[in-house]
Amino acid sequence: MSEPLLLEFGNTRWKLARAAAQGTVEFIAVGSEIEPLLAYIQSAHASYLAVASVAREEHLNHLRDACSGRIDVHEATVEVGYDITLCYEDPSRLGVDRWLTLLGMRPAKESVAIIDAGTAITLDVMNADGAHLGGWIAPGFRLMQEALIQKSSRLRISEQQPVGLLGTGTEAAIHLGCQASLQGFAAEAVMAAKESLQEYPDRIILTGGDAKLINKKALPHGPNGVVEKRPHLVLEGLAQWVTFQGLS
């Protein structure tokens, strides 16, 4: 039987992968338009599609309709258990993407600070016993820029990384200022995790499409701590969920 497909379906883009051995994933593609995604799914002859979605309901319905009669779709939702104790009084209010990052990191049995830089930038802290201590949510890199340009018709978003530390034009200055905000969020997130855990986390994880904008070498960490970029951590968690569900 062919391997299942794993889909992270976000607000602004999607990521597609195949499940591989021991909870790892084989990344396939990323995009923002839904039609290329649907074309790939329909031609892949996969055993099923596992989905982690925070997309708008109309986009998810479009995906369901396109897959109906062609491939079974299994949608991950936040669940209690899996050796993780969630701090939310109503676990369903925790985004499935955030929950899956916790699930993706749980096999290591380490304390962890997970910083996910996507449409929003989020922090989640989990101790070595699997207790989720909570986190932060703030506007992501693109949203910060859009918040500025919406106030002036003269401003634009720079699509390229400016050269140097200081912008010599308005668009470059906006780009670098918002990137500095990401870096500041990440640094403060580590210190908040340290205070909550009463020590530095064993591992600091940077994930999400804009994690590349965060300088991991500049983040505070303990002498034995690890700062690691895991760009597909939501998909890794989805692969773990598939295994727990007995779908693989």
Contact status, residue 217 vs residue 194, Cβ threshold 8 Å: no
The residue assigned the tokens 């109503």 is 90
Q: Which tokens is 8 given?
A: 């992270």
Look at residue 162 and give its three-state secondary structure. coil
Per-position DSSP letters for 75-108, written without gaps between them? E----SBTTBB---SSGGGS-HHHHHHHHHHGGG
Q: Which tokens is 74 given?
A: 């299994």
Catalytic residue among 65, 72, 83, 97, which?
A: 97
d(CA 225, CA 42) in angstroms, rounded, equals: 43
Residue type, 200: Y
Q: Which tokens is 105 given?
A: 């990191």
97 is catalytic: yes
d(CA 229, CA 165) in angstroms, rounded, equals: 22
d(CA 128, CA 18) in angstroms, rounded, equals: 28
- Name the nearest CA neighbour of 130 among 87, 95, 89: 87
d(CA 144, CA 242) in angstroms, rounded, equals: 34
Buried b / exposed e over 19-53, threshold 16 CB at 10 Å, is beeebebeeeebeeeeeebbeebeebebebbbbbb
Q: Which tokens is 22 given?
A: 């021991």
- Residues with catalytic roles: 97
